Amino acid sequence: MSDHVSNEGSSLDDRAQSQRLLLESAHRLFGDHCDKTLLDGAERGEFASELAATLADYGFHRLADHESGFALADLFALLKVAGYHALPIPLAEWVLGNRWLGSQSDDTLVSIGQLSDSALVDVPWAEQARVWLGVTQAGVLCTVRPGTWSPGNTIAGEPSGTLHEGEKVAVACNEQPFELLALSRCSLAVGAMQRLLELVIEQVTMREQFGRPLARFQAIQHAVAGVAAEVAVAGKAHDGALAFLNTDRQRDEVAIAKARIGEATGVVTDTVHQLFGAMGFTHEHVLHHYTRRLWVWREEYGNERYWQESLGASICAGGADELWPFLATMQ
């Protein structure tokens, strides 16, 4: 018994060490590349091809492959780092796409959109990708062959195309791709909000009004504390969803995370823009690269209303006797 516990603890320590090294490497790599010049270029439709090649060289695009040695939860930890740096590359789509395609995939960029009746919509960096996948809310996964592209952009300025009349081929998948893509948006959003909290603390500490730092004013302190609370709750909701990956409760926990993080997005972005004042609304400041991405992620793969309705339907289906056990076992 004692040997088993010792070995299990060692294994957990090894996994924690591997994830720590992964995230430290990602912070350095993303931080070296993701400056305002790169982000401004992405808004003009310039794909960060050098950064994408570097990610491939380091094997980040294969992180979620079943034989990679990393757990699926490590991907979502990595995506928090990507959100923190506003990484202008569809990393979640690329990594998850490779996982689902398995031996069918290669090292080219994979992008994913949502399947409607006759089109594949909201495909990030569609024209730079070489493999396209489509998902439905019901969890259907398909590869889509090129048809006619209609270019577009998200409100963050990044390219997001629509593919018409593409031939669809079903892909066998024993996971729930729509739920995992929704969770990826939670991860990105939590990372971006953590960065916004740092930026706003720096802003109110350095900027002075009436001869003293903004951080000395009680109203400012309360506003920053509100941002910090929302960021903390968003992080907790995200971690709760990760704890139930690949279980019967995955969908409900993703619903809680996506809905709560969406609510936090509204509070955080509104408050941070207020605390930055007019400067935060300028294109020259980096703030909008985070807030506009947060608004995009909030809507992608189900907004608050969609996931609140999903959670409500699930709880009602379980009946009154199951409500308390559900609440009592939340992470």
Reported as a single tens digit per residue, the pLDDT across 247-295 is 999 999 999 999 999 999 999 999 999 999 878 888 889 999 999 999 9
**Residue 205 sits in the same domain as residue 124:** no
**Residue 64 sits in the same domain as residue 209:** no
**Residue 20 sits in the same domain as residue 129:** yes
Q: Residue 148's beta-bridge partner residues?
A: 164
Among 152, 170, 188, the domain-final residue is 170
- pLDDT of 8 higher than 70: no
Domain hosting residue 80, numbered range: 2-170
Q: How many domains does the chain have?
A: 2
CA distances to 181, 199, 280 from 205, rounded to whole Å, are: 37, 10, 15
Place of tokens 């907004």: 303
Closest to 156 in 3D by CA, of 302, 300, 306, 303: 300
Exposure string of 157-169, with b = 16+ CB inside 10 Å and e = fewer, is bbbbbbbeebeee
CATH of the domain at 322: 1.20.140.10
**Residue 202 sits in the same domain as residue 65:** no
**pLDDT band for position 10 (cuts 50, 70, 90):** low
Q: Tokens representing 282? A: 């300028």
Closest to 70 in 3D by CA, of 134, 126, 15: 15
**Residue 22 sits in the same domain as residue 153:** yes
Lowest mean pLDDT among 53-57, 74-78, 191-195, 325-329: 325-329
Whole-prediction pTM = 0.93
Instruction: Decide: helix, strand or coil at residue 74.
Output: helix
User: Percent of the chain having pLDDT more than 90?
Assistant: 72
How far apart (Å, rounded) are the C-alpha atoms in residues 271 and 287?
Answer: 12
Instruction: Decide: helix, strand or coil at residue 316.
Output: helix
- Pairing mode, if any, of strands 110-115 and 131-135? parallel
- Average pLDDT over all residues of the chain: 91
**Residue 320 sits in the same domain as residue 182:** yes
- Per-residue DSSP letters for 227-244? HHHHHHHHHHHHHHHHHT
